[in-house]
Amino acid sequence: MKIRLSDHFTYRKLLRFTLPSVIMMIFTSIYGVVDGFFVSNFAGKTPFAAVNLIMPVLMILATVGFIFGTGGSAIVAKTFGEGDKKKANEYFSLFVYVAAALGIIIATLGIIFIRPISQFLGATGAMLEDCVVYGRIILIALPFYVLQLLFQTFFVTAERPNLGLYVTIASGVTNMVLDAILVILLPFEYKLAGAAVATAMSQVVGGIIPLFYFSRKNTSILKLGKTRFSGKAIVKACTNGSSEFMSNISMSVVGILYNLQLLKYAGENGVAAYGVMMYVSFIFASAFIGYSIGSAPIISYHFGAENHNELRGILKKSINIIGISAICMMIIAEVLAMPLSDLFVGYDPELFNLTTRGFRIFALSFLFMGYAIFSSGFFTALNDGVTSAIISFLRTLVFQIAAVLLFPIIFGVDGIWISIVAAELMAVIISAIFLVVKRKKYRY
């Protein structure tokens, strides 16, 4: 039975509707992990460190997809809730066209300036050349990646979360298969480029399939078509999506700062260890992100329809679901710390020990991060982009920077891992405060 945004959501129905988005995001993170596995084990430690050094910058450039995906879908779903289907589809088309155009411009500028950017991050010698090679190949496909990120959210708004999952699987399989072929079979000096090509092609698949789907007559409630330029709608979408923009920008900036601190305290091994943790942690965090993406259109629809009883129910159920999931994830992460470290860097005993110890400390952050991620997404769905942005800004930038600068002075390398846990705990406290202060927005 098809689930619609206008339905009453029980625990079962809420999980059924959000599960495709959760699996979609987990699968996206897994094929990123596979990419890192092949680079680390077949191209070597220096290329692996180079990928992790330049990746935050590439993610910053792709955030336009998150902005118009999360921010735009909040507007589109709310407009559907108000009963104006024609206007909702015009908004949808506008956001897709603007995001695609910005993706092309950003990719062009990125290709031109990737070398000085890499140098600014501290890359030198072989690591610098690896950053440039990997970065330029990925940037060629950036416009498609922007669309992939945008459509991941809009598939849920279109009441077709399963289709979003299928597209993500197709994209992930493309990456994994090409990684296995190109990285393993190509000569050593081309293995890193092969990994980049595999990732770029997967992004092309992830962006172009939904573009064709929504451009033609389909069975969803959304279709690309004619639209009128609306600066007001674009600004509103950017405001709504500012939290996701802030979150991704902040995580990337903080990632750069963490790498700089790790270079200082642990050298190249520290950057490689952090890379392993980021790959694996994104699998766990992606489950929370997927739930936030999957539930957001429901929240926006009922907010537009002024169904506040349903909003309260969804919030309460979500808090319970996230709490149970967080405990399970923390336990799993602690158990898998050693085997996952061995999978990526078992070839280097010193690096293996550093990664295992760091991951066991870092895993405690999974107890807290889900609440802040959902709270930020909850306010985005309520078209309250300012509150959402504040939560994301404090969680991913202010708390992280303060902690990563302070704790290493006290605890050394361990302080870098502890800082992540402390920042997530503070973010939960701030999120709870905003949910109480802003309760009139969803509880009348």
* Residue 430's pLDDT band (cuts 50, 70, 90): very high
Q: Is the pLDDT of residue 244 over 70?
A: no
* Residue 20's pLDDT band (cuts 50, 70, 90): confident
Q: Is the pLDDT of residue 444 over 60?
A: no
pLDDT, tens only, 49-60: 788 778 878 877
pLDDT, tens only, 44-102: 778 887 887 788 788 778 888 888 888 888 889 888 888 888 898 999 999 999 999 99
* CB contact set of 315 (below 8 Å; sequence gap of 6+): 378, 435, 442
What is the DSSP code string of 216-272? Answer: S--SSS---------HHHHHHHHHHTHHHHHHHHHHHHHHHHHHHHHHHHTHHHHHH
Secondary structure of residue 227 in the 3-state scheme: coil
pLDDT, tens only, 326-345: 999 899 889 988 887 887 77
Give the mean pLDDT of 26-44: 76
Angstrom distance (rounded) from CA 412 to CA 104: 42
Percentage of the chain exceeding pLDDT 70: 95
Angstrom distance (rounded) from CA 269 to CA 303: 48
Tell me if 368 sits within 8 A of 427, measured CB to CB: yes
Give the mean pLDDT of 162-177: 87
Task: Tell me the average pLDDT of the chain.
Answer: 85
pLDDT, tens only, 332-383: 889 988 887 887 777 778 878 888 888 888 889 989 988 988 998 888 888 7
Give the mean pLDDT of 212-232: 88
